[in-house]
């Protein structure tokens, strides 16, 4: 008798932590329905590519990857599925231009994947091609009864809300992930306890607009404090909040709960009020500065990081210099700085001209990077001579004789591995003896 083997799935994830977290959901959903998983693409019957639509670079990487899969598919039977934001945002373009794709599924349609993939595999066995698309956005789907299938590690991502109602004019998220909805806190706390039982020491709460979490009397401040009370969990982080709604209760929770990390990623995006208004960010440069002051006066050792977009539609040199001044003034600990790249279907793509030349965008990015690098180095050098608590993560990237971990403020620390101080998930103390703009060196 022929024994039918489990179809093996290989999943490749691009983009943000939300996509990493969604890939864990997809693994769980497919395993429940009898699919196996392999790390080796060559052995896979199905390759799923979980995509990101946030920047042009991400698109390019994914198209390159799909062209590799096209070559594989010429050699042997293979079902290819494209998931995530790019599937949702570029459905017709992908469906027409990429004949290799068998299944397209957006972020709210993953429950349909077992059925769609089974159909595609059955059709392939009969020598047929069957394309299937599942791209409806939902107002309710939060996958709250699915326990993600996590790889072992130190950090567990837990998605607490999905979608976004802010419609920042440059952003595709409201179109690819739909309207904002928050998960039942009980299901989040259950997931936190499960992660702790499995040995995770840190939890990162995820949401596109995490501080607008709201569920039957629970706000984000109450939720994060409850998660931080989970026995066995040493640290809780969150990403990303919107500066427009950062309530005092949340600042208090971060200030007072010993397990909530003293790190806030607070996307500024631009400093000029005119550009912030065009971006639809609903705060001014002055309001952002005031928020930074409020946070620092309540939590003096807070680590603050940010995102900046250079060269948004009509950004003048004066607008850019306002952003530059705010970066100098706030002295944030680090920043992710990008060129603006127009995304299809967004408000900016429909209403404003992407009229800042690429060369100018590049020059502005370089200028801000140089300033931020100097500030980050100065801020990191303040830690020299101090003893810091570090959560051990893994081998350092550059040398296997070194280990790396993170401070409470999410700054990377590297040290020579000795005996007894390299067990991922343990909290150890290190004295900092040197610092670069990216790393603290401990002993």
Give the footprint of ligand SF4 on this chain (CB under 6 A): 164, 166-168, 171, 173-174, 208-209, 242
d(CA 273, CA 255): 30
d(CA 98, CA 300): 52
Q: How far is the CB of 165 from ligand SF4 (least distance, A)?
A: 8
Q: How far is the CB of 95 from ligand SF4 (least distance, A)?
A: 25
| Residue in this structure with the two tokens 């003896």, named with its chain if needed | 433
The nearer residue to ligand SF4, 163 or 185, going by C-beta atoms, is 163
The nearer residue to ligand SF4, 289 or 347, going by C-beta atoms, is 347
Cβ atoms of 11 and 43 within 8 Å: the answer is no
Q: How far is the CB of 76 from ligand SF4 (least distance, A)?
A: 39
Give the pair of three-digit tokens for residue 249: 């209760």
The nearer residue to ligand SF4, 130 or 138, going by C-beta atoms, is 138
d(CA 181, CA 215): 9
Q: How far is the CB of 308 from ligand SF4 (least distance, A)?
A: 13
- Nearest alpha-carbon partner for 176 in 243, 251, 85: 85
The nearer residue to ligand SF4, 265 or 379, going by C-beta atoms, is 265
Q: How far is the CB of 231 from ligand SF4 (least distance, A)?
A: 33
* DSSP label at residue 283: -
The nearer residue to ligand SF4, 171 or 304, going by C-beta atoms, is 171
Buried b (16+ CB within 10 A) or exposed e, 260-283: bbbbbbbbbbbbbbebbebbebeb
Q: How far is the CB of 247 from ligand SF4 (least distance, A)?
A: 16
The nearer residue to ligand SF4, 13 or 166, going by C-beta atoms, is 166
Strands 427-435 and 214-215: unpaired
| Residue in this structure with the two tokens 């070559």, named with its chain if needed | 71
Question: Is omega for the bond preceding 240 within 30 degrees of 0, making it cis?
Answer: yes
3-state secondary structure of 219: strand
Q: How far is the CB of 175 from ligand SF4 (least distance, A)?
A: 9
The nearer residue to ligand SF4, 215 or 242, going by C-beta atoms, is 242
Q: How far is the CB of 70 from ligand SF4 (least distance, A)?
A: 31
- Nearest alpha-carbon partner for 232 in 187, 199, 190, 261: 199
Residues 6+ apart with CB under 8 A from 96: none
The nearer residue to ligand SF4, 266 or 435, going by C-beta atoms, is 266
Give the pair of three-digit tokens for residue 8: 């093996």
């Amino acid at each position: 008798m022929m024994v039918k083997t489990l179809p093996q799935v290989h999943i490749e994830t691009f983009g943000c932590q939300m996509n990493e977290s969604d890939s864990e959901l997809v693994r769980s959903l497919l395993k429940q329905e009898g699919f196996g998983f392999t790390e080796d693409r060559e052995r896979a019957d199905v390759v799923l590519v979980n995509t990101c639509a946030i920047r042009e670079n991400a698109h390019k990487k994914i198209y390159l990857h799909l062209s590799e899969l096209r070559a594989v598919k010429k050699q042997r039977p293979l079902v290819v599925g494209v998931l995530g934001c790019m599937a949702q945002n570029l459905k017709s373009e992908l469906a027409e231009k990429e004949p290799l794709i068998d299944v397209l599924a957006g972020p709210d349609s993953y429950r349909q994947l077992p059925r769609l993939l089974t159909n595609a595999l059955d059709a392939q066995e009969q020598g047929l091609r069957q394309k299937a698309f599942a791209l409806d956005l939902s107002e309710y789907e939060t996958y709250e009864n699915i326990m993600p299938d996590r790889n072992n590690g130190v950090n567990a991502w837990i998605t607490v809300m999905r979608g976004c109602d802010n419609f920042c004019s440059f952003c595709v998220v409201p179109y690819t992930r739909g309207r904002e909805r928050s998960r039942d806190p009980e299901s989040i706390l259950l997931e936190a306890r499960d992660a702790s039982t499995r040995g995770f020491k840190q939890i990162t709460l995820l949401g596109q607009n995490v501080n607008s979490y709201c569920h039957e009397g629970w706000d984000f401040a109450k939720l994060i404090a409850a998660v931080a009370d989970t026995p066995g969990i040493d640290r809780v982080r969150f990403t990303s909040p919107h500066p427009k709604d950062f309530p005092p209760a949340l600042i208090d929770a971060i200030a007072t709960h010993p397990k909530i990390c003293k790190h806030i990623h607070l996307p500024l995006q631009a400093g000029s009020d005119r550009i912030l208004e065009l971006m639809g960010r609903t705060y001014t440069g002055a309001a952002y500065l005031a928020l930074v002051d409020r946070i620092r006066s309540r939590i003096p050792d807070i680590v603050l990081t940010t995102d900046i977009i250079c060269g948004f539609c009509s950004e003048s040199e004066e607008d850019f210099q306002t952003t530059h001044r705010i970066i100098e003034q706030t002295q944030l600990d680090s920043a992710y700085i990008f060129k603006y790249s127009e995304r299809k279907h967004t408000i900016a793509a429909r209403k404003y001209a992407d009229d800042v030349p690429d060369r100018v965008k590049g020059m502005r990015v370089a200028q801000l990077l140089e300033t931020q690098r100097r500030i980050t180095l100065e801020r990191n050098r303040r830690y020299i001579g101090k003893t810091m608590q570090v959560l051990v993560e893994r081998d350092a990237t550059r040398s296997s004789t070194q280990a790396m971990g993170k401070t409470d403020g999410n700054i990377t620390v590297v040290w020579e591995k000795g005996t007894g101080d390299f067990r991922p998930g343990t909290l150890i103390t290190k004295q900092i003896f040197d610092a670069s703009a990216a790393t603290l060196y401990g002993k």
